[in-house]
Structure 1
Amino acid sequence: MTAPMIDVARAALERFHDVQADDDGSLTFAHGGVLCVVQGTELEEGLPVLNLTCVVAWDLPVDEDPAKDVPTRVALGVGEGLFGTPRVVRGEAGWDVTLRYAFPAAGLTEGPMGTLLMLVVSSASSMRAELMAEQA
């Protein structure tokens, strides 16, 4: 059952952010311009997992210069963090960047859950800051 993990995640995140609990059980919040959602799922009986997805940036310009090319910069470690997998997708108006981290969270209390979630969110914010600095 993922509901207890979502409850712990919500309590942990509310120490730092305004959190919206959605009808589907997911949690949404923003950190430093990064939009985030936490969802719970049970991969199989006894293996509940939380998934944190951060929308780092969207509609970033396409640039042929490798020093400014978004996929290249992300691949080379822009906003490098220890937690999360970045993804770059070409949208209609440019590059969209997300950071995703999934982990088994059963048994985590509010303190450790908050630390883990904030490590991922901080990585996403660092990535956004570096990508957006180029746009300024």
Structure 2
Amino acid sequence: MSAESGSATAQLLDVAKEALERFHEVRVDDDGALSFRHGEVPCALQGVELSEGLEVLSLTCVVAWDLPADSDIPLRLAERAGQGLFGTLGAIRTDRGWDVTLRYVFPAAGLGVEAMGTLLMLVVSNASTLRTELLG
């Protein structure tokens, strides 16, 4: 990664931080990633250069964890994904049950604070809604 692309990724994270701070308390981690909570959903936002000139932001929300292993979580997630949402749902079965994540990766160059905030809030709002559905 060139210094120029690192700078571009840092600038995207700066815009994202400003956008998120309108809604949440945001922490900048040691690696430059942003972390915050949307309600009960912890989220992390990282900047990545996929190829020269293509910087993207990657948002990961931990929707729920330790859901009952004998539940129909994968089927429920597949049905929910078919309804169209911003992001990709993931389910990982652990010794303690199912952990569910929502990831959204997008090219963010050119997005201003308002547009970035709108986009990020669409994703994290979906994550919170899904959490309520899964725990309800």
TM-score normalised by L of structure 1: 0.91
- Once residues 94 and 85 of structure 2 are traced to their aligned partners in structure 1, the CA distance between those partners, rounded to angstroms, is 26
Q: Which has the higher helix share?
A: 2
Structure 2 residue runs of 5 or longer lacking an equivalent are 1-7
- Once residues 84 and 22 of structure 1 are traced to their aligned partners in structure 2, the CA distance between those partners, rounded to angstroms, is 23
Q: Indicate which of 124, 128, 134 corresponds to 1:131.
A: 134
- Once residues 82 and 94 of structure 1 are traced to their aligned partners in structure 2, the CA distance between those partners, rounded to angstroms, is 24
Alignment correspondent of 1:99:
102
TM-score normalised by L of structure 2: 0.91
Alignment correspondent of 1:50:
57
Alignment correspondent of 1:116:
119
- How much has 1:72 moved relative to structure 2? 1.0
Deviation per residue, 1:57-116 (Å, 9 max, x gap): 0010022xxxx51111111117x5520100001012000000000000011100000000
Structure 1 residue runs of 5 or longer lacking an equivalent are none
Identical aligned pairs, as a percentage?
63
Over aligned residues, Cα RMSD in angstroms? 1.2
Q: Indicate which of 12, 15, 20 corresponds to 1:8.
A: 15
- Once residues 20 and 95 of structure 2 are traced to their aligned partners in structure 1, the CA distance between those partners, rounded to angstroms, is 33
Alignment correspondent of 1:83:
86
Aligned residues: 128
Structure 1 residues 128 and 81: alpha-carbon distance in aligned structure 2, compared to 1, 3 A threshold: farther
**What amino acid is aligned across from residue 102 of structure 1 in structure 2?**
V
- Once residues 121 and 6 of structure 1 are traced to their aligned partners in structure 2, the CA distance between those partners, rounded to angstroms, is 16
**What amino acid is aligned across from residue 10 of structure 1 in structure 2?**
K
- How much has 1:53 moved relative to structure 2? 0.3
**What amino acid is aligned across from residue 126 of structure 1 in structure 2?**
T
**What amino acid is aligned across from residue 107 of structure 2 in structure 1?**
P
On the 8 A contact 1:81/1:123 being kept in 2, the answer is no
Deviation per residue, 1:31-58 (Å, 9 max, x gap): 1211100000111111000000000000
